[in-house]
């Protein structure tokens, strides 16, 4: 038996042309688990999901089961959910509170909230043995967004976020007190596709006027401009924020305030929305508040698995090469009225719920792509708009919304990570 040679990612991802093997090759998927998810940073949870000591949520890093848990000092740890004795999964529920410690179901080993091994039943038999504590992931926290890696010496967390941090800022600043809350529960969807097809689709501005045309023709919404306008009339831009992070800057196409909340010249703001604008002005001053009121939260992908989906937060869990779990939840704002957050929940249902337009439309399309890749590998062409990108005022690469500059941003980072 001969060892298989390493995969050459510089030929698989090359200048806007992607070999479709990346979506269904088991070896590539295993490489991604190691290089992107185990050795690099990925999103795991938001701090608001574990408000009290002992609170935990079950998450995974790549395929490894982990717990995001708050300890008695208020710090959030990300610790393995596998008992170090014989591997039993420790916490079975999606979320809960373990009080002061985590006890294994099998032989009763007890672990602290930092993963330390506190006690072993019938301890005499363990005397002198170096039983292990629960492995702890390396954690980065930016404004409550918790990222983790199994790499004890990863690249600096803030270097990884780079300019993408300002995308998170723009989401969080929609709250007049600068805090969001993800406690409405996560909806879970299984796509029969590779995880990267979901990332690509989220930041693809080219399909909107075709795949989602039925939405625009059915109801008045902020997507009408994107769907019904001609190529020269579209003002929305696609932006490469560096490090694989990218955005469809929808606000460039908004013509009125709070359009992102569903208001327009034809649909005047309700009293709670007017109050919300006042709260923002009081908190941030007129200039900054005007920008937030007009622009709203971003539509952006933070490489590799966090999608800031306007008033929703979405992330992806990878498990198999051809299957991806998407979780989404409304991004609730602290410091606003209940009516405001109710509005955000309704928007979440309309955009991403099981009877919504976007999620089923995109699910069908991406599953059709995945099915096509089962045949002979083909070249995926993501070169649209190459050569007509501009540097914006901040030096970021931006282009027409239908240009694949956002997808090229993702793949450029992918190639860097996979060839490192």
DSSP 82-124: B-TTT--BS--SSEEE-TTEEE-TTT--EEETTS-EEE-SSGG
Beta pairing partners, 43: 147
d(CA 61, CA 68): 11
88 lies in the site for ligand FES, by CB under 6 A: yes
CB-CB contact of 147 with 139 (8 Å):
yes
Task: Give the span between the Cα atoms of 383 and 373, in whole angstroms.
Answer: 19
Query: In this chain, which stretch among 45-53, 103-111, 201-209, 240-248 interacts with ligand FES, using CB under 6 A?
Result: 103-111
Binding mask 299-338 for ligand FES (x = CB under 6 A): ----------------------------------------
In the complex, the smallest distance separating the C-beta of residue 94 from ligand FES, rounded to whole angstroms, is 20
Binding residues for ligand FES, how many (CB under 6 A)?
9
Cβ neighbors of 37 (< 8 A, separation 6 or more) are 61, 62, 304, 305, 318
From 254, 261, 248, select the one nearest 229 (Cα to Cα).
254
Nearer to ligand FES, 125 or 354 (CB): 125
Name residues contacting Fe ion, limited to 237-256 (CB under 5 A): none
Q: How far is the CB of 150 from ligand FES (least distance, A)?
A: 21
Total residue count of the chain as it appears in this document: 420
Residue 106's binding partner out of ligand FES, Fe ion, none, with CB under 5 to 8 Å set by partner kind: ligand FES
Q: Which position among 86, 192, 217, 388 is part of the footprint of ligand FES (CB under 6 A)? A: 86
Judged by CB under 6 A, which stretch of 107-115, 140-148, 235-243, 276-284 contacts ligand FES?
A: 107-115
Which lies closer to ligand FES via its Cβ, residue 103 or residue 412?
A: 103
SS3 of the chain: helix, strand, coil, percent, to 5: 35, 25, 40
Greatest CA span in the chain, whole angstroms? 78
The listed partner (ligand FES, Fe ion, none) that binds 88, CB under 5 to 8 Å by sort, is: ligand FES
Binding mask 291-330 for Fe ion (x = CB under 5 A): ----------------------------------------
Q: What does 158 bind: ligand FES, Fe ion, none (CB cut-off 5 to 8 Å by kind)?
A: none
Residue 35 or 85 having the CB closest to ligand FES: 85
Helix H segments across 127-187? Answer: 157-161, 165-172
Q: Which does 289 bind (CB under 5 to 8 A by kind): ligand FES, Fe ion, none?
A: none
Q: Among the residues of 285-395, which ranges form H helices?
A: 286-295, 338-352, 358-372
> Binds 104, which of ligand FES, Fe ion, none (CB < 5 to 8 A, cut-off by type)?
ligand FES
Residues 140 and 146 sit within 8 Å (Cβ to Cβ): yes
Q: Does 292 bind ligand FES (CB under 6 A)?
A: no
Burial readout 287-313 (b: 16 or more C-beta within 10 A, e: otherwise): eebeebbebbbbbbbbbbbbbbbbbbb
Interatomic CA distance for residues 74 and 214, integer angstroms = 48
Smaller CB separation from ligand FES, 87 or 268: 87
Contact partners, residue 143, CB within 8 Å, separation at least 6: 168, 169, 172, 178
Least CB distance from residue 80 to ligand FES, whole Å? 12
Spatial neighbors of 44 by CB under 8 A, at least 6 apart, are: 59, 61, 66, 68, 78, 137, 146, 147, 148
Residues 350-379 that bind Fe ion (CB under 5 A): 362
Question: Is the Cβ of residue 80 or residue 237 nearer to ligand FES in the bound state?
Answer: 80
Using the rule CB under 6 A, is 281 a contact of ligand FES? no
Residue ranges in contact with ligand FES by CB under 6 A: 83, 85-86, 88, 104, 106-109
Residue ranges in contact with Fe ion by CB under 5 A: 362
């Amino acid at each position: 038996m001969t060892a298989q040679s390493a995969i050459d990612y510089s030929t698989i991802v090359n200048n806007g042309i992607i070999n479709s093997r990346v979506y269904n090759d088991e070896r590539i998927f295993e490489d991604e688990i190691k290089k992107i998810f185990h050795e690099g940073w990925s999103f795991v949870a938001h701090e608001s999901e574990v408000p009290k000591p002992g609170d935990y949520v079950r998450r995974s890093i790549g395929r490894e089961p982990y717990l995001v848990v708050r300890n008695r000092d208020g710090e959030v740890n990300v610790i393995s959910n596998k008992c170090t004795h014989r591997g039993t999964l420790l916490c079975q529920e999606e979320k809960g509170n373990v009080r002061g410690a985590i006890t294994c179901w099998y032989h009763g080993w007890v672990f602290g909230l930092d993963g330390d091994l506190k006690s072993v039943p019938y301890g005499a038999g363990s005397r002198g043995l170096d039983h292990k504590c629960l492995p702890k992931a390396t954690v980065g926290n930016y404004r409550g967004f918790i990222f983790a890696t199994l790499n004890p010496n990863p690249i600096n967390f803030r270097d990884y976020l780079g300019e993408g941090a300002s995308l998170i800022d723009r989401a969080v600043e929609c709250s007049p007190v600068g805090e969001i809350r993800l406690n409405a529960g996560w909806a879970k969807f299984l796509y029969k596709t590779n995880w990267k097809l979901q990332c690509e689709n989220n930041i693809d501005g080219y399909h909107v006027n075709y795949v989602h045309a039925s939405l625009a023709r059915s109801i008045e919404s902020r997507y009408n401009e994107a769907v019904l306008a001609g190529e020269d009339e579209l003002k929305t831009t696609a932006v490469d924020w560096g490090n694989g992070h990218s955005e469809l800057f929808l606000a460039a196409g908004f013509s009125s305030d709070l359009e992102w909340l569903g208001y327009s010249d034809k649909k005047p703001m309700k009293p709670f929305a007017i109050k919300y604008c006042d709260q923002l002005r009081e908190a941030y001053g007129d200039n900054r508040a005007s920008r937030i009121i007009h622009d709203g939260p971003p539509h952006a992908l933070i490489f590799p698995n966090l999608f800031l989906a306007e008033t929703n937060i979405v992330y992806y869990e990878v498990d198999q090469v051809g299957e991806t779990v998407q979780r989404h939840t409304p991004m609730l704002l602290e410091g606003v009225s209940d009516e405001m957050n109710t509005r955000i929940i309704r928007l979440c249902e309309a955009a991403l719920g099981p009877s919504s337009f976007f999620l089923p439309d995109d699910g069908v399309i991406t599953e059709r792509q995945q099915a096509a890749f089962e045949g002979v590998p083909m070249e995926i062409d993501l070169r649209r708009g190459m050569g007509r990108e501009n540097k914006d005022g901040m030096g970021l690469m931006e282009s027409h919304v239908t240009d694949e500059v956002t997808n090229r941003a993702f793949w450029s980072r992918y190639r860097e990570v996979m060839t490192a």
